[in-house]
Structure 1
Amino acid sequence: MSHDGQPGAHTYNTETVGQEPSRENQVRGKGNDMELQWIIVKTGDTLPRIASAYRMTEELLCALNPEASAQPYLLAGQMLRVMPGTGRRYAVPPGESVHQTAQRFGLTEYQLREQNPELAGIQDWSGCCIHIPEAGGDRIVNIKGEYGYRELMKDIQRLEARYSCIQSGSIGTSVMGKELPYLRIGNGPRHVHVNASVHANEWLTSPVLMRCVEEYAAAYHSDEMWHSSDPKRWMQETTLWAVPMVNPDGVELVQEGVVNHHMYASRLLEWNGGRAHFTHWKANIRGVDLNDQFPAYWEEEVARRGVASPGPRDYAGTAPLTEPEAQALVQWTQQHDFAAVVSLHSQGQEIYWNYRDLEPRESAPLSRKLAKASGYKAVKLGGSDAGYKDWFIQAFGKPGFTVEVGLGVNPLPVEQFDDICVEVGRLLTALLSHGSREEGSSDRR
């Protein structure tokens, strides 16, 4: 990613490859001149990010650059061919107003006009070919190819600038010195914590949690309901603390590999069995599985796993809490009186709520409530130790949940993002409403 945040910011020799469009299909407005351009790859660029930035499909980008698509990861400095697209286009039929067009695509008239500035002086758009932005185009949290640490930090700044109810800070730093940010929303006495991306290839959980925080804040500021609940009541009764990316070094590894002079390259390649692809990697940058790092029957988890050295997954380290990411999460949790915690993982659409019968009595019924809200299945899990929710239940005797979002193979396809956001949003709504005066009054009724 270049310093200005635009993938492949340098564009070189433009080469027109298309022909004049057929007159019978021509409409007013800008046409697609089908130009090939050369760009220079920057550190942090990936094929999905570049394709998204130029409004291309990843398949077209790979077809134009077969040599690059055959590489495990892109190299900074290599040149790629791109064919900038226009996104969704629409030919406005006769008699359709701008307002009607906007309604057709679930947009406001302002959003539609903002995305088509070349038509600012034209009232009648009949016969015009216009650009249709994504629905909800004013949202801050979106996936543009992939969602990594750079996108996360930029979105946190924008969310905090737009919504006064959101505050941010840091719980510590990763092995490679990245800040581990948190977001806080609400001022109530009941504190709830949710974290995401403990495992590197489960990075989709980060934008899911970020989108949920954004939707909560947006509903509060616009005085609207969120999943049929009133955020204003939560503001008074609860405080939500979100740590959206516990393992930023690992997420970066999964998405960008160890090219471009990565400081851990030789060791990571060795731990990965010589494989250049890291899409299956769950651990942190030192090959330690962070969700096996917590002091909750850690020795038994080590014996069960049987993994004696760093690698992509299941190595618990030489002792509990050797890794700065796990240390930071434990110390930060100890500083807060959380009523409940949730750790977002993928995949399976399941909710794990118990730990060695140490969980409080309310955990089982609360898990069923979360399952009903999200459509997931509440599961009583055995034969697992040393996870974050395990440690929290053992240390504090309060409800802790591991929520496995989505279905498929990690990293989950971004096409599941919107559905998972709805599912997790409903789950958080149920969790934030649990024990509230509103819930109590409805129960009595």
Structure 2
Amino acid sequence: MKISVRSGDTFWYYSQLFFIPAGLIIDSNPSLDPNALKIGSEVEIPGFIKESYTIKQGDTFWKLAEQRNIHVDGLLLLNGNINPDALKIGSAIILPSRVTTPIVNGRQGYSFEILQRDLTRLKEIYPFIRLRSIGESVLGKPLYEIKIGDGSKKVHMNASFHANEWITTSVLMTFLNDFLLSLTNMMPIRGVETLSVYKAVTLSIVPMVNPDGVDLVLKGPPSAMKDQLLNINNGSSDFTGWKANIRGVDLNNQFPAKWELEKERKEVKSPAPRDFPGDKPLSEPETIAMAELAQEELFDRMLALHTQGKEFYWGYEGLEPPEAERLAEDFERVSGYRSVRYIDSYAGYKDWYIKEYRKPAFTLELGKGINPLPLSQFDEIYRDTLGIFLVSIYRWY
């Protein structure tokens, strides 16, 4: 919600006016000096939207402010050209409306178009988030990264490395939205005070690593590539089981952590709906972007969301740090998922991350069944994994 600075206004005053932490307001306005606001400057107030309201019989600014649980001056700020002592029935005013319900609806086929729409809306309501593209997919779709918080500890989460595991994007975007709602409404999540997390941690989220593949599963092949993709898919027009990117490369078999071993033992030797590790490691734009992100940010922890199995993997060649075992114990306790240290599978993002940085990294296999998992499992998956998300950002040993 945008407002204009008046004489004497400060970020700290706006914080009291709208019951929003001052730090969130400051971070929502990075180009403004909080100690020298200029009259007429535009300021973003996070967690609010503007609503038009038609004055009715008996309405006053004081009554409307009480109903909205805000100060009267909040109404005066948004309606500076209106005399509050002479309201006219039928005239329109602007009311600040606190956002208390989610924007994200995770209980749907979560395509790239829906992701873009939700990110645009979240950025409007919560301007303290930082949104950027870290690269592009084969078809030129941006690979979005969202950052929240300004703490020294860095945690990264990603989803939809595999196309038919798109429900992981739904789950991660739902967590993102719940985290933002918790911050602006100052309501804990399962007892975790998220504002203290925001101050201590920088959370990085890449919600859809494989947007071309996700759209292929949910919408079918783009017309320009239909024949090519039908050929890769053994002539079948059913793409619901497709895991790879749009070129038929399995993105989670692309990283230089025993890639040669995976390449040799995979039966698939050419582009396919699943399991083809490519002709060389990091051959795909999506995996290059994810590797460069890790190299740039040096995250302290990493979670990669996949489906299915109700378990998670956290070891690689004994290179995982002691902290990883403590996190694994907590993850198992809060989720009921099975902790698996080693698995005979390599070349994944988790494997490479541990190999390169000796930091805790996890592959989470959400839910159970046959991919793509049905949306009927969404609530259970989110309930089980919410504790893992929270532990990963607030539990430091």
**TM bin (shorter chain):** 0.7 to 0.9
- In the TM superposition, residue 144 of structure 1 has moved relative to its aligned partner by 6.1
Aligned residue identity for 1:326: T
| Secondary structure in structure 2 of the residue aligned to 1:343 | strand
Tell me the equivalent position of 2:376: 415
Q: Is the 8 A contact 1:163 1:218 kept in 2?
A: no
How far is the alpha carbon of 1:164 from its aligned partner?
3.1
**Structure 2 residue corresponding to 1:425, chosen from 386, 393, 397:** 386
Equivalent-residue separation in structure 1 for 2:365 and 2:196 (angstroms) = 28
Inter-partner Cα distance in structure 2 for 1:404 and 1:198: 12
Instruction: Give the partner amino acid of 1:253.
Output: L
C-alpha separation in 1, matches of 2:378 and 2:134: 26
> Whole-Å Cα distance in 2 between the matches of residues 228 and 144 of structure 1?
25
Amino acid at match of 1:420: I
Distance of 2:108 and 2:350 partners within structure 1: 31
Correspondence for 1:225: 188
Work out the CA distance in 2 between the residues paired with 1:155 and 1:278.
Answer: 25
**Alpha-carbon deviation of 1:305?**
1.5
Unpaired runs of 5+ residues, structure 1, are: 1-108, 111-135, 441-445
Partner residue, 1:380: 341
Give the C-alpha shift of residue 227 in structure 1. Answer: 1.6
Question: Of the candidates 140, 144, 149, which is equivalent to residue 181 of structure 1?
Answer: 144
* Distance in 1 of aligned mates of 2:217 and 2:328: 31
Given the alignment, which residue of 145, 160, 167 partners 1:204? 167
CA distance in 2, matches of 1:192, 1:172: 20
Pairwise CA distance, 1:302: 0.9
Mapping for residues 299-318 of structure 1, pairs under 5 Å = 299-318=260-279
Cα distance in structure 2, aligned partners of 1:219 and 1:205: 21
Equivalent position to 2:220, from 254, 257, 263 = 257
Q: Percent identity?
A: 43
Q: Secondary structure at the match of 1:194?
A: strand
Displacement after TM superposition at 1:264 (Å): 1.8
- Give 1:152's aligned residue: 115
Asked if the contact 1:194–1:242 (Cα under 8 Å) also holds between the matched residues in 2, the reply is: yes
2:295 to 325, 334, 342: 334
Q: Pick which of 385-394 and 266-275 moved more.
A: 266-275
Counterpart residue number, 2:199: 236
- Deviations 1:102-132 (Å, cap 9, x if unpaired)? xxxxxxx99xxxxxxxxxxxxxxxxxxxxxx
Note the C-alpha offset of 1:210: 0.5
Moved over 2 A (4+): none
Partner of 1:29: none
Structure 2: state its 5+ residue gaps.
Answer: 1-66, 69-98
- Cα offset for 1:192? 0.3
Tell me if structure 1 keeps the 8 A contact 2:106–2:173. Answer: no
Q: Give the distance between the partners of 1:414 and 1:166, measured in 2 at CA.
A: 28
Contact (CA 8 Å) 2:298, 2:357: kept in 1 or not?
A: no
| Structure 2 equivalent of residue 287 of structure 1 | 248
Which whole-Å CA distance do the structure 1 matches of 2:235 and 2:100 have between them? Answer: 42
Distance (whole Å) between structure 2 residues aligned to residue 209 and residue 145 of structure 1:
13
Q: How many residue pairs were aligned? A: 301
Task: Determine the C-alpha separation between the residues in 2 that align with 1:322 and 1:245.
Answer: 18
C-alpha distance in 2 between matches for 1:336 and 1:316: 25
Check the 8 A contact 2:319/2:358 in 1, yes or no: yes
By relative contact order (CA 8 Å, sep 6+), the higher-ranking structure is 2
- Counterpart amino acid of residue 231 in structure 2: E
RMSD: 1.7
- Aligned-partner Cα distance in 1 for 2:272–2:100: 40
State the one-letter code of the partner of 1:346.
T
